[in-house]
């Protein structure tokens, strides 16, 4: 992952609403949620939700699909894992992490 891609993803997540939306969609798994359900679960007005979904999508963190009249969003797990890998690729100088840092 390039620095610019990591920065885009991290910048998109550096907002309480976008972070909450992304975490909600990660919990939902690959099937995701319809926009209406995301609005219900987050309590965000449609215009605000649309803005945040667009920001997360532009950063590559969300995928959208249309089913009939509904648009479903789901977390892009490939991008999420790439960001995590980017952040941890040089963890502990390439040595195994000590037990207290086993989540590296």
Region 74-84 average pLDDT: 97
* Average pLDDT, rounded, for the chain: 92
Residues 6 or more apart whose Cβ sits within 8 Å of residue 8: 58, 59, 60
Range of the domain at 27: 3-101
Match 């977390």 to its residue by tokens.
75
Residues 6 or more apart whose Cβ sits within 8 Å of residue 45: 39
CATH code (residue 17): 1.10.10.10
Q: Is the pLDDT confidence value at 103 over 60?
A: no
C-alpha closest to that of 26 among 86, 74, 82: 74
Q: Is the pLDDT confidence value at 59 over 90?
A: yes
Which token pair is 37?
């359900």
Q: What's the domain count of the chain?
A: 1
């Amino acid at each position: 992952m390039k620095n610019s891609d990591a920065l885009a993803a991290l910048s998109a997540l550096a907002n309480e609403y976008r972070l909450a939306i992304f975490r909600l969609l990660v919990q939902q798994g690959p099937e995701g949620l319809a926009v209406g359900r995301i609005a219900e679960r987050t309590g965000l007005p449609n215009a605000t939700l649309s803005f945040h979904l667009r920001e997360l999508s532009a950063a590559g963190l969300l995928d959208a699909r249309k089913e009939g009249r509904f648009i479903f969003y789901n977390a892009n797990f490939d991008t999420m894992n790439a960001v995590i890998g980017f952040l941890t690729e040089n963890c502990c100088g390439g040595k195994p992490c000590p037990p207290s840092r086993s989540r590296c």
